[in-house]
Structures are given as structure tokens and as C-alpha cells.
Amino acid sequence: MDGLLVVNAGSSSLKFAIYTVDDTLPDPLWRGILDGLPKKPHARVVDQHGNELINQQVALPAGDPALAPSRWLLAWLSTLNEIELKAVGHRVVHGGTEFISPVRIDGEVMIRLQALIPLAPLHQPGNLIPIQAITNHYPTLPQIACFDTAFHRSQPALAQLYALPDHITRQGVRAYGFHGLSYDYITSRLQDIAPQHAQGKLVVAHLGNGASMCAIEGGKSVASSMGFTALDGLMMGTRCGNLDPGVLLYLMAQGMDHTALEHLLYRESGLLGVSGLSSDMRDLLASDVESAKRAVAMFCYRAGRQLGSLAAALQGLDTLIFTGGIGEHAAPIRAQIAMRAAWLGVAIDPDLNNAHAPIISPPGSKVMVRVMATDEEAVIAEHVRSWLLLDSTEH
């Protein structure tokens, strides 16, 4: 059977899925994650019916520790004798202004992707490592990069610019936006289930350990809460979100260097920093500690404020969609954000919300509020299928 592999690599995990080349099976044949990296690698793999094939700690191959997770995946893939891989799709966080659609990776493209590492230092290297590992093992296998930033290149020029001198803007300092593969999936899925709403004014709230919101109209990105980096906008699990740059100048004057600031902003802030307890929203919602309640309240306040800003960019709001781990599963968070957006016409039915229904707004509401599961791997698979089809017609 001809198959394609989708790889979604992060700093502490490696997600993957194997799909058929045709789309007769909408769900992947297998889906898995290798997490707990690098110290306690744990693998979980399920088949298309949800049956668990692996759920245990594993030993990674010896050699370069950076390549070890990808080499473990390749070793596991070698046991699937019934699958012949035709292509691999990768989530790549940053495509800069140049890569606005999926692209086949070759030596030149790889060099250009590596040049973008300074724009996403904690994400881009991890995205590129599996590409190198697979190239080493399957040098002729087509690999396709799909970019989190590409979805946002439809934004108006003014939405992508900062009030900085032009020579700095020309260095690539501009608002890129992220989580684009998630937004791509949601808009495509909405087109399937409610095409009359998909062309309207939407705000999609991708709320998880990383969190952002995107204003979408006519299926195109209009504005996003994230900007130059994945630090901007909403408060997140360990990331600060929107921050006065004067704070950084102050901390530098107090002696913090680049490494210390990077660790503070990416690893020690957000829900974890405010609560002093956890970066996991589930832990905070279950806690009676005052700092945990403050972190939850701040998260919802910031999300409500950002929603108002994005509605202004759209000049209206027809649909609000919650997705991501928090967006899909944390009813109290959805309720608090909706309460702060009542002035926009946002309302939710408590019973529908607590049941995590697909539509949680009451009938006849001015703004439809939906809960939708996102699937970045599925949209990457679709991009790779499209590339394979195009490549076959050209040859």
C-alpha cells in the first residue's frame, strides 16, 4: 500500500502519522507520539480504530542524541512491511516571507530554512532535524515542508508591519503569525460542514500550551495575535504573551543577558510564572490556590481583550471557534472568554458548553460559537497529497 508520513516535531516531542496516498481513509492508518524527550522517551501509537499498539517507555538508538528520536521512528516504520512510503510532510514553524505555500525540500531549500532559525530559535531547529535524519536514510524520498506562517501571508501589509525604521523591516522584522496549519485545517473543515459560515467574519481561538487567535474573513487570515515570534499575543503555558518591550530594556539593565531573557520569556512565564504552580490549565482549574485563580483570570482577560482587537480588524464578528487542548476541553475558560465578549454579541448555553457540544451558542445568537478539534497532521497530509498529484501530472 502506498503511504505518506507526516512528522510534527517539537522541542520535547515527535508526533507522527501515516496516511494512505489516496484519501479514501480520512483518518491515518497509524498515529503516534514520542514524548518525554530527551530524558524519558515514551512512545504511544494507535491505529485508525484507536487500538493501542505501543504505550511504553522506549530506548532511543545510540549516536547523535538530536537525531535519535527520528531514527527511532524510522526503525519503527521499517516494521510496517505493508506500507511503501511515497513522500513525507513536515510541519515547519517558520517560512519567513519567502515560503508562502508547501515546498519540496532540497539542499538549497534546507539552507534557506536554516537561515530562518534566528526568527524561531526554539522551534525551527527541532523541525529541521527529522528532515535531515530522513534524508540520511531515504535520500531520494520526497519531503515536503508545510509552514505555520504561510496561512498569514494573506494579511494586509499594514497588519504585518511594525513601527520601526525601514532598514529593520527589510531585515525580516515583521509580524508573521503562527499556528497557520491549525487555522488552515479549521477553515477547510468549516467549509465542509457549514460553507455559509466559512466565508464570514471568524475569529479562531487556538488555545493550548501555545495559544493564539486569528481573524479570518473569506477563508483568509486578516490579523493574528502572534507576531514576529511565537511569544506575542495571548498568555500561554510558559510564554509571556504581549509584553511592553520596555520591560526587556529594564531587565537587561538589571544584568539579564540574552540567554536568561530567552529562558524567562519562553520557559518561566505565562500560566506557570503567574501561578507558580503549573503550566497545565487542568491543574490550575482544579486548584484553590489564589495564584492559580489569578493565572486563570489573567488568561481569560487577555483572550477577551484580544478577541475585541481581532473583531475590530474584521469590522464585525459572525463566528467564534474554540480549538486546541484548552479550547476544546476547558468549558470554564470558554465561558469566561465568552462573558468578556458579550458586548460583541457572543453568548453560550451553559449546558451545551459543559457538554462540549459542536455548537455552544444558543439558537438565534448574533455570533455562532463553535468547538472544533484541530488536526495539523491531516492538513499536512492533504498538502502532500496535492503535491504528489501535481508532481505526477507534470511528469
C-alpha distances in Å from residue 325, one per residue of 64, 69, 75, 95, 155: 32, 24, 30, 25, 26
Query: For 292-348, how does the pLDDT look when each residue is reduced to its tens digit (9 = 90+)?
Result: 999 999 999 999 999 999 999 999 999 999 999 999 999 999 999 999 999 999 999
Q: Tell me the average pLDDT across 202-211.
A: 96
Decide if domain 195-371 falls under CATH 3.40.190.10.
no
DSSP string, 101-148: S-EE--HHHHHHHHTTGGGSTTTHHHHHHHHHHHHHH-TTS-EEEEET
Q: Tell me the average pLDDT across 49-56.
A: 94
Indicate the domain borders of the chain.
Answer: 2-147, 195-371
The reply to whether 195-371 shares the fold of 2-147 is yes
The number of residues in the chain equals 395
Q: Tell me the average pLDDT across 10-18.
A: 89
Query: For 262-288, how does the pLDDT look when each residue is reduced to its tens digit (9 = 90+)?
Result: 999 999 999 999 999 999 999 999 999
Which of these ranges, 8-17, 18-27, 223-232, has the smallest mean pLDDT?
Answer: 18-27
pTM comes to: 0.94
pLDDT at 351 over 80: yes
From the candidates 2, 148, 232, 244, give the one annotated as an active-site residue.
148
- 92, 174 Cβ separation under 8 angstroms: no
Tell me what pLDDT residue 363 has.
95
Tell me what pLDDT residue 269 has.
98
A 10 A CB-CB count for 346 gives: 23
Q: How confident is the model at residue 23 (pLDDT cuts 50, 70, 90)?
A: confident
Indicate the residue type of 311. Answer: A
pLDDT at 118 over 90: no
Topology annotation, domain 2-147: Nucleotidyltransferase; domain 5 (3.30.420)
Q: Tell me the average pLDDT across 35-41.
A: 89
Portion of the chain with pLDDT greater than 90, in percent? 90
148 assigned to active site: yes
